[in-house]
Amino acid sequence: MKLIYQSGKSGRTGAVLPSLDVPQSSAVPSVLRRSSTAGLPEVSELETVRHFTNLSRRNMSVDTHFYPLGSCTMKYNPKFHEKVVRMPGFAELHPLLPQLRHGGTLTQGALTVLYETERMLSDVLGFAQTTMQPMAGAHGELTGVMLIAACHKARKDFARKVMLIPDAAHGTNPASATVAGYTTKVVPSDPDGNVDLAALKELLSPEVAGIMLTCPNTLGLFDPNVKEICSLVHGAGGLCYCDGANFNAIVGRLRPGDVGFDVMHVNIHKTFSTPHGGGGPGSGPVGVCEKLVPFLPVSRVVRRNDGTCALEYNYPESIGYIAPFYGNFGIILRAYAYLLTLGRKGLVRVSENAVLNANYIAAALDGIYDRKYKRTCMHECVFSATKQVERGVHALDIAKALIDRGIHPPTIYFPLIVPEALMIEPTETESREEIDLFIAAMKEIAELAEKDPERIRECPLTTPVKRLDETAAARKPDLSYPS
């Protein structure tokens, strides 16, 4: 495929603009004028549309390929939700429109969506209230830890400087805790992949502000000691944060607030089926127990006695604004449609099918690829390519080979506590037939790794760009095109 700079012809354009009828000296300050042309491609509209349409067809996406990206829940996003979010009453709203005008409604629909989504999420998560402001999962983590810090500050418990983070936690937890002002200590896993309770007890002290526990964890496992973990941390004066990145596995089945967590974020761009990836968009609402409610960010959407919704700001203990306006509204609206479409029984089916699909893959590939923790998994199963490494084939090679077979690779080399990790999450939206094709591809790659490992190490062979030196590409990227 040609670069767009290789298309077109000098003087060709896709638009005709009227001549500038304002003297150039007054229209554009001299410091802002170009001394030469911008060097942009000179192409027609048709050439432009064809180029970018064909370029998009080179991508792998949930709409075009099986996408078992572990811990990221890249599931299908219903097109009905896209129709809802493009309704003029939502899509054409300006964020600075007044809440009420002459007794009528300008933003009541949007405010009602925010309020009702907050109430539904609070119910599903098992918390008193939820803030819809955080713009992504890691942003939700930071917000949650800031709420913990505000709570300790309010009760003048200034000695708490440490946040405990299990080694099977989500990868962004240490960064979120550090940005919030805490130092971190790692809690190791026991041989079964759970939090090592003896190690946890050793780490608890008056300096501990809390624990950030991913539930289920990044091994795809649910820790049966979660209530005891929360009780131990509470007994030491700390608070318990639940990383809800993997909530897809337990939605409708378990409410984290009911088992002892004080605060959690949930990635609604994962669990509640909205588009994400490539750096955005996202949304990570944070639910809190009653004692953390005073510290929630402003503004908050409340429902008045007359049934209208409004934004309230008078919360003196609030941590303040953590995002512009009121959250990523387009993503929240999609999640709102998803929640209303499925209902409570539908959410239970989500977790049931997600767990079933992951265990189906785990059973089918067990023995072909190594499994460090041979337990019933949740929404994702984690394998290791250590058996294939004996033949010189690494997890990265397997990922590249899957691309040649029309399958997006799973997450590799994470979690870090599993060598040559392959983290596979099929989600609940994939059919058995599609999963069987993936299983067959993984078996074929394992067989080929045994018989002809060099062929696997050369993959991908069907893509426009073959195997790259990824280290050199990251450290010395060549982003220019010679004119």
79 against 29, higher pLDDT: 79
Same domain, yes or no, for 199 and 312? yes
> Does 55 reside within a domain?
no
Q: Is 462 in contact with 404 (CB distance < 8 Å)?
A: yes
Same domain, yes or no, for 297 and 177? yes
Same domain, yes or no, for 174 and 309? yes
Q: In the chain, pLDDT over 70 holds for what percent of residues?
A: 96
Q: How far apart are CA 378 and CA 151, in angstroms?
A: 33
- Which of 340, 367, 390 terminates a domain? The answer is 340
Of 82-91, 311-320, 404-413, 468-477, the range with the lowest mean pLDDT is 468-477
DSSP H helical ranges for 134-280: 137-154, 173-179, 197-203, 226-235
Could you tell me the two tokens for 406?
């029309």
Residue 39 to residues 10, 49, 478, 483: CA-CA distances in angstroms? Answer: 11, 19, 18, 9
- Average pLDDT in the chain: 92
> Does 295 reside within a domain?
yes
- Residues 77, 78, 81, 82: is their CA dihedral positive or negative? positive
Q: Provide the pairing of β-strand 100-101 with 104-105.
A: antiparallel
Same domain, yes or no, for 361 and 415? yes
> What are 370's strand-pairing partners?
384
DSSP H helical ranges for 211-271: 226-235
Question: Is 364's pLDDT higher than 70?
Answer: yes
For residue 48, the surrounding DSSP H or E stretch is helix 45-56
Of 53-57, 246-250, 403-407, the range with the lowest mean pLDDT is 53-57
pLDDT class of 59 with cuts at 50, 70, 90 = confident
Kindly report the number of other CB atoms within 10 A of residue 287's CB atom: 31
* CATH number of the CATH domain containing 99: 3.40.640.10
pLDDT digits (tens, 9 = 90+) for 137-186: 999 999 999 999 999 999 999 999 999 999 999 989 999 999 999 999 99
- Which of 321, 340, 359 terminates a domain? The answer is 340
Same domain, yes or no, for 324 and 352? no
> What are 166's strand-pairing partners?
187
pLDDT digits (tens, 9 = 90+) for 366-419: 999 999 999 999 999 999 999 999 999 999 999 999 999 999 999 999 999 999
Q: What is the mean pLDDT of residues 240-257?
A: 96
Same domain, yes or no, for 106 and 183? yes
Evaluate the omega torsion of the peptide bond into residue 299 and state whether it is cis, within 30 degrees of 0: yes
DSSP 297: P
Query: Can you give the pTM of this predicted structure?
Result: 0.90
> What are 183's strand-pairing partners?
162
* CATH number of the CATH domain containing 388: 3.90.1150.10
Same domain, yes or no, for 373 and 393? yes
> Does 356 reside within a domain?
yes
> Does 27 reside within a domain?
no
- Please give the single-letter amino acid code of residue 454: E
Q: Is 340 in contact with 81 (CB distance < 8 Å)?
A: no
Same domain, yes or no, for 329 and 348? no
Same domain, yes or no, for 383 and 279? no
> Does 474 reside within a domain?
no
> What are 311's strand-pairing partners?
301
Nearest Cα to 137, choosing from 270, 239, 259, 251?
270
Its domain, for residue 326, covers 82-340
Question: Is 343's pLDDT higher than 90?
Answer: yes
Nearest Cα to 438, choosing from 356, 330, 348, 365?
365
Q: Provide the pairing of β-strand 300-303 with 309-312.
A: antiparallel
Question: Is 26's pLDDT higher than 70?
Answer: no
Q: How far apart are CA 397 and CA 334, in angstroms?
A: 36
Q: Is 213 in contact with 195 (CB distance < 8 Å)?
A: yes
Question: Is 104's pLDDT higher than 50?
Answer: no
pLDDT of 368 = 98
Question: Is 103's pLDDT higher than 50?
Answer: no
- Which of 320, 340, 360 terminates a domain? The answer is 340
> Does 248 reside within a domain?
yes
> Does 44 reside within a domain?
no
355 against 482, higher pLDDT: 355
Same domain, yes or no, for 272 and 146? yes
Same domain, yes or no, for 196 and 315? yes
Q: Provide the pairing of β-strand 421-424 with 381-384.
A: antiparallel
> Does 202 reside within a domain?
yes
**Number of domains composing the chain:** 2
Same domain, yes or no, for 285 and 173? yes
Q: Provide the pairing of β-strand 183-187 with 309-312.
A: unpaired
Q: What is the mean pLDDT of residues 343-353?
A: 96
Nearest Cα to 68, choosing from 464, 467, 398, 459?
398
